[in-house]
A and B are shown apart, each in its own frame.
Chain A
Amino acid sequence: MSMLTALKISSSAMNAQMVRMNTTASNLANIDVVGSTYDEAYKAKKPIFKTVIENYTQDNFEASVKVNGIFVSERENTRRYDPQNPMATKEGYVFMSNVNSIEEMVDMTNASRSYQTNVEVMNATKKMMMSTLQLGK
């Protein structure tokens, strides 16, 4: 049942890419959220992918992907002078999120490309299965 395994592998990758897409969406949505302390300000999140290898023998190899947790970016949040803001500190500063919009856009494009590739793999595998099912007809 190698073919069904191939479908399972592609779907695990699609799941992982979807998580990546969701974190990117959260990061971009929260890009303008300000806080009154460093800890309160929004910090960018990134998923960590991990390979899950199953049934690795001499003639078999199956490697699916899993999201092994979410990593919180350590980049320092910048301050902005904005004394009118109700969130401002005594000195008049608010803390910005540490999201880098360019980085997020690149990540988003990458995630959607990878997702697409896996969909194509799935389609091709499905076609192959169909041709096998119709053998001798």
Chain B
Amino acid sequence: MSLLQNPLGVHATALMLREQRTTVLASNIANADTPNYKARDIDFSSVMAATKGNTMRTSHSRHIGVSNYQALQGDGMIKYRMPNSASIDGNTVEVNTENNLFTENSLRYQATSTFLNSRIKGVMSALRGE
């Protein structure tokens, strides 16, 4: 797809998804001390693949395709995280994991916004024709 037909490419969707994931991870960290709270997360790569409508190529009819993402569509894209160790108050938040993922998510958000920025700059220079 050319730059002018779809100037922002996949990055606009990615940025929105990163933003939603920020809220989910912030909720987890906020509820780190709440009894019976269950940590949730968005599986970024599979949601992204589903939005793009990409299908994985298979070389045999019995290979498992990953094109339709039934599990994700069935339960929505927000899923429960399995904790490494159980806690007595029924809370499944592990603050270290959540912190780690939050940092990763915000770094990737910055990366996506850098990509978007260069896309916008590219379109601008194409329009100016200098």
Chain A residues close to B by CB (< 8 Å): 2-3, 5-6, 9-10, 12-13, 16-17, 20, 49-51, 57-65, 110, 114, 117-118, 120-121, 124-125, 127-128, 131-132, 135-136
B33 and A57 contacting across the interface, CB-CB below 8 Å? no
B103 and A124 contacting across the interface, CB-CB below 8 Å? yes
Within 8 A of A (CB), among B89-123: 95, 99, 102-103, 106, 109-110, 113, 116-117, 120-121
B24 and A61 contacting across the interface, CB-CB below 8 Å? yes
Is B23 engaged at the interface, CB distance under 8 Å to the other chain?
yes
Q: Which of B23, B32, B76, B120 has the most CB of A within 10 A?
A: B23
Partner of B77, one of A59, A118, A128, A132: A59
What is the interface of chain B mostly: helix, strand, loop, or mixed? Answer: helix
Q: List 13 A-B contacts (CB under 8 A).
A: A9-B30, A13-B30, A49-B31, A49-B33, A50-B34, A51-B37, A58-B78, A61-B23, A61-B24, A117-B95, A121-B102, A125-B106, A132-B113
B123 to chain A, nearest CB (A): 9
Is B46 engaged at the interface, CB distance under 8 Å to the other chain?
no
The complex places the Cα of A79 from the Cα of B109 at a distance, in Å, of 59
Chain B residues near A121 (CB, 8 Å)? Answer: 26, 29-30, 102
A14 to chain B, nearest CB (A): 9
The complex places the Cα of A16 from the Cα of B15 at a distance, in Å, of 30
B26 and A59 contacting across the interface, CB-CB below 8 Å? no
B15 and A125 contacting across the interface, CB-CB below 8 Å? no
* Interface contacts beyond A10-B29, A124-B102: sample of 18 additional A-B pairs, CB < 8 Å, sorted by A: A6-B22, A6-B23, A6-B26, A10-B30, A51-B31, A59-B76, A63-B28, A63-B31, A65-B33, A118-B30, A128-B106, A128-B110, A131-B110, A132-B15, A132-B113, A135-B116, A136-B120, A136-B124
Chain B residues close to A by CB (< 8 Å): 15-16, 19-20, 22-24, 26-37, 40, 76-78, 95, 99, 102-103, 106, 109-110, 113, 116-117, 120-121, 124
A63 and B37 contacting across the interface, CB-CB below 8 Å? yes
B22 and A131 contacting across the interface, CB-CB below 8 Å? no
Closest 4 CB pairs of A and B: A58-B76, A13-B30, A63-B27, A6-B26
The complex places the Cα of A3 from the Cα of B19 at a distance, in Å, of 6
Partner of A65, one of B34, B102, B121: B34
The complex places the Cα of A104 from the Cα of B115 at a distance, in Å, of 49
Chain A residues near B77 (CB, 8 Å)? Answer: 58-59
